């Protein structure tokens, strides 16, 4: 179950990054996964060849630019302090 959750979470994040494009994953009997994009046509577009779980998640995460992480002023000050302390 954790395998499907990890892969489906990656596809969900991809949908969010791509303005809810109709991406879906297909699981094969041997455990490999591939990504499809349901276009207006009857046949969905196959995006990649079947991949193992970790390869699939890495591939899906590489599609579309991921949003930049938000950092507060306190986070930035803390990171600066850490960098400065490692230089000593």
Q: How far apart are the C-alpha atoms of 22 and 59, rounded to whole Å? A: 17
Q: How far apart are the C-alpha atoms of 76 and 9, rounded to whole Å? A: 29
> pLDDT in tens for each of the 88 residues of the chain?
566 789 999 999 999 998 889 999 999 999 999 999 998 778 899 999 999 999 999 999 999 877 677 888 898 888 889 888 877 5
User: CB–CB of 7/53 below 8 Å?
Assistant: yes
pLDDT value of residue 19: 87
Q: How far apart are the C-alpha atoms of 22 and 40, rounded to whole Å? A: 10
Instruction: Give residue limits of the domains in the chain.
Output: 2-87
Q: What is the model's pTM?
A: 0.69
**How would DSSP label each residue in 21-61?**
--EEEEE-TTS-EEEEE--SSSSPEE-S--B-HHHHHHHHH
Q: How far apart are the C-alpha atoms of 76 and 71, rounded to whole Å? A: 7
């Amino acid at each position: 179950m954790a395998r499907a959750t990890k892969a489906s979470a990656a596809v969900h994040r991809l949908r969010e990054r791509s303005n809810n494009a109709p991406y879906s994953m297909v699981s094969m009997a041997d455990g490999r996964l591939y990504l499809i994009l349901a276009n207006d046509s009857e046949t969905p577009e196959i995006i990649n060849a079947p991949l193992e779980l970790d390869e699939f998640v890495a591939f899906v995460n590489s599609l579309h630019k991921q949003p930049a992480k938000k950092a507060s002023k306190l986070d930035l000050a803390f990171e600066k302090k850490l960098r400065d302390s490692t230089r000593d």
